[in-house]
């Protein structure tokens, strides 16, 4: 069994958590997965330059993918909590910190940890 460095562990975890949320939202098509891979590649360089940032890489990958999807397809992930009004995306918090989670600023609630949108409650 190959032992992964802390950097590689952080990158693999980030990839897995973001992919889990994409699968939960039924948007994990090949081109979207490619966006995840591109972000992980870019963030690999970032963490190599700042090793203490490894704890933050999952949230940053989620933000990268969210931004790339907005540019190409529209908002993601859509809020599963608010049942009325215009559809809106969740935000990842903290913007730069450990233990990222999805929040709905409209309702003022934490919706799910990054990687756990499949278990988030719906309205």
Query: Residue 123: which pLDDT band, with cuts at 50, 70 and 90?
Result: very low
How does pLDDT run across 105-120, given as a tens digit for each residue?
Answer: 999 999 999 999 998 7
With a pLDDT cut of 90, the percent of the chain lying above it is 77
Per-residue model confidence (pLDDT) at position 121? 55
DSSP state string for 80-119:
SS--SSS--B-EEESTTSSS-EEEETTTTEEEEETT-GGG
Section 82-87 average pLDDT:
82
The CA-atom distances, in angstroms, between 43 and each of 13, 80, 82, 121 are 13, 28, 32, 31
Global confidence as pTM: 0.91
Residue 80, token pair as written in the block = 């599963």
How does pLDDT run across 44-59, given as a tens digit for each residue?
Answer: 999 999 989 999 999 9
């Amino acid at each position: 069994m190959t032992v992964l460095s802390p950097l590689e562990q952080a990158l693999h975890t980030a990839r897995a958590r973001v992919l889990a949320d994409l699968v939960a939202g039924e948007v994990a098509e090949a081109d979207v997965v490619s966006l995840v891979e591109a972000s992980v590649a870019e963030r690999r360089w970032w963490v190599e330059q700042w090793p203490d940032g490894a704890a933050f890489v999952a949230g940053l990958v989620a933000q990268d993918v969210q931004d790339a999807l907005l540019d190409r397809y529209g908002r993601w992930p859509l809020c599963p909590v608010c049942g009325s009004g215009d559809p809106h995306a969740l935000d990842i918090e903290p913007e730069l910190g450990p233990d990222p989670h999805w929040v709905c600023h409209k309702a003022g609630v934490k919706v799910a940890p990054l990687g756990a949108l499949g278990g988030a409650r719906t309205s």
